[in-house]
Amino acid sequence: MAIQITGDPDADQVLTDDPFALLVGMMLDQQYPMEHAFRGPAKVLDRFETLDPRRIAEADPEAFAALCAVPPAIHRFPGSMAARLQALAALVVDEYDGDAARLWQEADSGRELMRRLTALPGFGKQKAQIFVALLAKQLGVRPAGWEQAAGAYAEPGYRSVADVVDPESLQKVRDHKKQMKAAVKRS
């Protein structure tokens, strides 16, 4: 199945083709519009000419941060996100021999997948739950107990990037997030 999150077919193809790109997009999805965050890996690929975690981890931090800050930047905080991206790449190299897909392919349960995800730089519980739901809903990665691990994000609806498959569903997710923020303000 082709990922369709960004509204840019080329950027979506990068996410579809490269598990590390999908992981990076999820990492970048904070304090930044989701479709822009998930375009970040394509920007890195275009500028750095590879998404190989080894090469990213070994890159000169200042040069890599500068590359990530070139307009349009990979994130509204390109310097800190470049450092986090390099830390993520290093962990994928150290723990999974540079193969990001092993992170979920070798997880024997939803609980194990959550443990692995929350160990990643920039992945707290909620982001890990959303990524579990994304893997399950869009890539068919469903280890035993994934629904419990993903929590409400496993349910049908339009709660997160896990539910974005086209421009219409992106708008529904935005509307849901807006409603949630309004509810928090009212309480």
Q: What is the per-residue pLDDT across 117-134, written as a single tens digit (0 to 9) for each?
A: 999 999 999 999 999 999
Residue labelled with tokens 């690929």: 45
Stretch 42-68: mean pLDDT, rounded? Answer: 98
pLDDT, tens digit, 9 for 90 and up, residues 143-173? 999 999 999 999 999 999 999 999 999 999 9
State percent of the chain over pLDDT 70: 99
Q: What pTM was estimated for this model as a whole?
A: 0.95
Question: Residue 53: CB partners within 8 Å, gap ≥ 6?
Answer: 20, 88, 89, 90, 92, 93, 98, 100
How far is residue 112's CA from residue 173's CA, in Å, rounded to a whole number? 27
In terms of Cα–Cα distance, which of 99, 142, 104 is closest to 123?
A: 104
How far is residue 147's CA from residue 43's CA, in Å, rounded to a whole number? 32
Question: Residue 42: CB partners within 8 Å, gap ≥ 6?
Answer: 6, 8, 10, 11, 14, 15, 21
